[in-house]
Structure 1
Amino acid sequence: MVLTGAVRRRLLGTAAASALAGSALAGCGLFDDEPAPPEPADPLQPLLDEAMALAASYDRAIAAQPGLASRLTPLGDDHRAHVAELTLVIGKTPPSVAPSASVGAPAETVASLREAEQAAQKSAVALCRAAVPERAALIGSIAACRATHAEALR
């Protein structure tokens, strides 16, 4: 078979374009067998984790000490509101946390919650200091709420 100059140039051009496209695709990772690296965790994730843990702690305390429900329910509700807002900002849905049974006298339960609030408030303040301005107001508000909870549990 004899190819004319125009046909030969077209075939060579098509082959060159195919080779170039193939090398470009190989370079972009389309054919790589290695998985993509995981996305880094959002800096607000620890704050979200704490809010979920605090909400679960209040649920456990109320289940164990129903007499404290009127005092503790609004505080637990605040943490659930923080979870909702943080998940909105981060852009993911947290797993649901089922409360487990808790034991202890009412005074011990309240003291334990107060300690948890104080520790969580300190971590929120530290995170607020390092936060980008767009997130600092939210984190500062959560830190202030946690400090208020610690005082309410005196």
Structure 2
Amino acid sequence: MPSLTGCDPFDRDPPPPDPLAPMVDEAFALAAAYQDAATTHPVLAGRLTPITEAHAAHAAELARVTEVALPSTTPTTSTAADSDTTLTALRERERAAGESAVQACLAAPAERAALLASIAAARASHLEALQ
């Protein structure tokens, strides 16, 4: 009698990864970068802590929506020795992240557009806070 190993009628290909899954990592990494900058430059903590918290909240909500686990370890970030260079680096990261949020919003189904638009708007406001 031939073996039917692997012939499970319910065996299906796994679903493709959620297209928003990379945004979980991006938001988590941004939160870590701001936290690191606030720790390294305490004089900036008042400005950076609310942005850190916003990125952490975005990461948590994106993880919930996409059913992707938050990373278990905080990414290593490199903070510049002086606060002006740190702010410049954070602005560049925020600008790039804002662009990715806008692109994700434009490509997302309607039920996710509001969340992504909110994230894109928050990232734009973060740029203003970093000026």
TM-score category of the 2 structures, normalised to the smaller one: 0.7 to 0.9
Gaps of 5+ in 1: 1-21, 31-35
- Are residues 64 and 39 of structure 1, via their aligned partners in 2, closer, same or farther at CA, if it must alter by over 3 Å? same
* Map of 2:96 onto structure 1: 119
What is the CA-CA distance between 1:37 and the residue it aligns to? 4.6
How big is the shift at 1:64? 1.2
Q: CA deviation at 1:103?
A: 3.2
Q: 17, 26, 38: which is aligned to 2:7?
A: 26
- Counting aligned pairs with the same residue, the percent is 47
What's the CA shift string for 1:88-134, capped at 9, x where partnerless? 11123212333646332101111111111110000110111110000
Q: Counterpart of 2:128 in structure 1: which amino acid?
A: E
What residue in structure 2 maps to residue 146 of structure 1? 123
Q: Which residue matches 2:17? A: 41
In structure 1, give the amino acid aligned to 2:109.
V
Superposition RMSD on alpha carbons, in Å?
2.4
- Structure 1 runs (4+) deviating above 4 angstroms are none
Q: Does 1:84 align with 2:65?
A: no
Letter matched to residue 119 of structure 1:
A
For structure 1, which segment, 63-72 or 98-107, has the greater mean C-alpha deviation from structure 2 after superposition? Answer: 98-107
**8 A contact 1:48–1:87 mirrored in 2:** yes
- More helix per residue: 1 or 2? 1
- Structure-2-length-normalised TM-score: 0.86
3-state SS of the aligned residue for 2:99?
A: helix
Computing the radius of gyration from Cα coordinates, the structure with the larger value is: 1
